[in-house]
Amino acid sequence: MADPGRFLKGTRLGLVANHTSLAGDRRHSVSHFQQDQRFELKKLFAPEHGFYGTDQDMAPVAGHADPASGLEVVSLYGDRAASLHPDPGILQDIDTLVFDIQDIGSRYYTFIYTMANCMAACRQAGVAMVVCDRPNPINGLDVEGNRVTEACRSFVGQYPIANRHGMTCGELALLFNEHFAIGCDLTVVPMRGWRRAMWFDETGLLWTPPSPNMPSLAAAAVYPGMCLVEGTQLSEGRGTTLPFELCGAPSIGAHRLAQHLNRQALPGAFFRPHYFKPTCHKWAGETCGGIQLHITDRQTFKPVITGIAVIMAIAELYPKEFAWRTEPYEFVKDPPAIDLLYGNPQMRKIFAQQQTPLAAIEESWENDLDAFLPLRKSFLIYEGE
């Protein structure tokens, strides 16, 4: 990454960061900014999961003092929807707000919307915004899925981008700022040496789990599809050591499900029968039958359609046990969680009709991708497409 210091305006800084905010020398960004005599780091801001990534999904995060730096940490994920949109007043003693957090490359992951909402607050407060770009860990080439309709916008789909968008935070910031008209004073600090075809394990960087249930690159790779399981009453493996790689429930026969899925010969995927007992979240303390999703070829693997195939298989084999999630999701009660995640009500309609071919589902995304891909291309920073 280039030296962000030469892009900063004024001397008073705020930093949106968490435990993933490591520089190339593996020191935290806070250390760099605090020791840089050109600036005064005034306060820190933390997204969902907190500054140290200790809080579970959708858990309110309280503000606190950072024990390492002594700085105030302002939470950008509280106990109500309004907390997701920073009050411009909290920026009154800041000249520039810096965003430096590792994303995972999927539309549902909320860090990119914390970034967008900070950009909007900066515009209102007359504060400059700098985004320190970081790799898309599941590569910057592959794009899959549909866009979000207006009625299903939420903190897991605030803008109509594809489920797997193939962009970096910096590229998304440019897209949000110009095309979706946030209109802040934005500067993106580009990376050095990153190529679009790279996966995270090819960058030489340390994988730092950005949230409690994102422990590995393997979890990030399946997440664009397996996160859809959150819209059901099935366990997505939270409370185990393999979140999002696992899926199941107490009533499911693991071997029957795995055989059914493997017969479909989904590209780059193998399903192993697996029993697991979550320690928290859905079905905590109960033994669940299900599968572990193994990626056998990540170049051909399609995470979104694979995640849908897993849910469809369980709904087909165990229709009496299958149910959609009805609890509020990201402060939204209606539409239901699956509509917010998928981006429209079509997933529920597909399941109600039954026996819809996976190829037909992929074909239903064509118009969305035809609109998104040219738009995306105009905001790409790095070569490779």
Dihedral angle over CA of 166, 157, 89, 183, nearest 10: 60
DSSP 8-state assignment for residue 182:
-
pLDDT at 5: 67
Output the six-digit token pair for 301: 């693997």
pLDDT at 353: 85
335: preceding bond cis by omega (within 30 degrees): yes
Within 13 Å and on the Cβ side, how many CA atoms surround 281? Answer: 28
- Judged on CB neighbours under 10 Å (0-12, 13-18, 19+), 73 is buried
Give average pLDDT by consecutive 10-residue segment, the chain, 385 residues: 69 96 92 91 96 93 93 96 96 96 98 98 97 98 98 98 98 98 97 96 96 97 98 98 98 97 98 98 97 98 98 96 96 97 96 89 98 98 84
Which of 110, 312, 356, 329 has its CA nearest to residue 338?
Answer: 329
pLDDT at 170: 98
Which of 221, 277, 219, 281 has its CA nearest to residue 57?
Answer: 281
Rg (CA), the chain: 21
Neighbours of 180 (CB within 10 A): 14
Could you confirm whether domain 4-206 is CATH 3.40.50.12170? yes
Q: What is the DSSP string of 97-134?
A: EEE-----SBTT-THHHHHHHHHHHHHHHT-EEEEE--
**Ramachandran region of residue 185, left (φ > 0), alpha (ψ -120 to 50) or beta?**
beta
Output the six-digit token pair for 326: 């009805």
Is beta strand 128-132 parallel, antiparallel or unpaired with respect to 186-189? parallel
Residue type (1 letter), 74: V
Instruction: Return d(Cα 111, Cα 108) in angstroms, integer.
Output: 9
Q: Which of these CATH numbers, 3.90.1150.140, 1.10.260.40, 3.40.50.300, 3.40.50.2300, describes 217-365?
A: 3.90.1150.140
Domain ranges of the chain: 4-206, 217-365
pLDDT at 376: 98
- Judged on CB neighbours under 10 Å (0-12, 13-18, 19+), 83 is middle
Q: Please, where are the H alpha helices in 263-365?
A: 303-317, 337-342, 346-353, 358-363
